[in-house]
Structure 1
Amino acid sequence: MPNTFTKELRVSPKHIDDLQHVNNVVYLQWVQDIAAEHWFSASANLKLLNLVWVARDHHIEYFAPALLDEDLVIKTFVDKMEGVSSFRSVEIYKADKIICKCNSRWILVDKESMRPCRVPQEICDLFL
């Protein structure tokens, strides 16, 4: 996995739904959060204040539930960058077993024009 970003978290009551497991929407929030954290940690030294990533699509697969007070590991990495797109994977683990996987496509957008822009090579070099 190229340039993998990892974080740990513990499932808290705010993550739990009426079925007593992590709500599906929470997984999507975690996907968005770790993508942003990875971006900001890797690109902190770049002068890219006029660029922003916008989610185009997400495909999530759930393999097992996460329950209250369980410790999880979330990993993310960029699979490829092509044109205006970044293709990112997020994997969520419980005790070294994958419980959720998400593949996302993000589009790089110029904040001023709100138009997609080609991913610069310097960004590709950071993540691939």
Structure 2
Amino acid sequence: MSDDWDYASPFTLALVPAPEHIDGLGHTNNAVYVQWCEQAGWAHSEALGLSLDDYRRLDRAMAIREGHYDYLLPSFEGEALLLSTWLTASDGRLAMERRFQLRRASDGVTLMRGRWALVCIEISSGKPRRMPAEFVAVYEAAVVS
């Protein structure tokens, strides 16, 4: 498989659709892709050094304000897949952008692309709040262009 990802230095999860991921049309259900993106986002955040425990301790979270997914081609049970994610923008105060790319491992063909617009919220109130210094330090350093 080629290394031609949409952005440099991807954080990548290897995935294989299981029988429970397959819908009535015989391919991986689109909702499963959304769940996988959530898994990849959390795994990337944890790899960068910010966990759910940190979010709770700081009473802050990066919440999805908007999600967009382009489902380009289907995947099927047992197919080896690679889902990559990147932080692609941050204003250093309130908002960030996360991108996703799902590719078939055998030939590198892109099956799905996704984009999240994220906003920092105070967990206790649900209201938008400025990112704490820990978020800025960790997430800003991970932004790719």
**What are the ranges of 5 or more consecutive residues in structure 2 without an aligned counterpart?**
1-6
1:124 is matched with which residue? 139
> Does structure 1 residue 78 correspond to structure 2 residue 87?
yes
> Does structure 1 residue 23 correspond to structure 2 residue 29?
yes
Q: Distance in 1 between matches of 2:35 and 2:73?
A: 18
Q: Distance in 1 between matches of 2:112 and 2:79?
A: 14
Question: What TM-score do you get using the length of structure 1 for normalisation?
Answer: 0.88
- Matched-pair identity in %: 21
Contact 1:110 1:117 in 2 (8 A): yes
Q: Equivalent of 1:5, from 1, 11, 18? A: 11
Q: Which 10-residue stretch deviates more, 103-112 or 92-101?
A: 103-112
Q: Equivalent of 1:63, from 72, 75, 81? A: 72
Q: Distance in 1 between matches of 2:64 and 2:122?
A: 14
2:30 is aligned with what amino acid?
Answer: N
Contact 2:90 2:140 in 1 (8 A): no
Q: Distance in 1 between matches of 2:129 and 2:8?
A: 23
Contact 1:3 1:127 in 2 (8 A): no
RMSD: 2.0
1:111 is aligned with what amino acid?
Answer: I
Question: What TM-score do you get using the length of structure 2 for normalisation?
Answer: 0.79
Q: What displacement does 1:44 show?
A: 4.0
SS at match of 2:28: coil
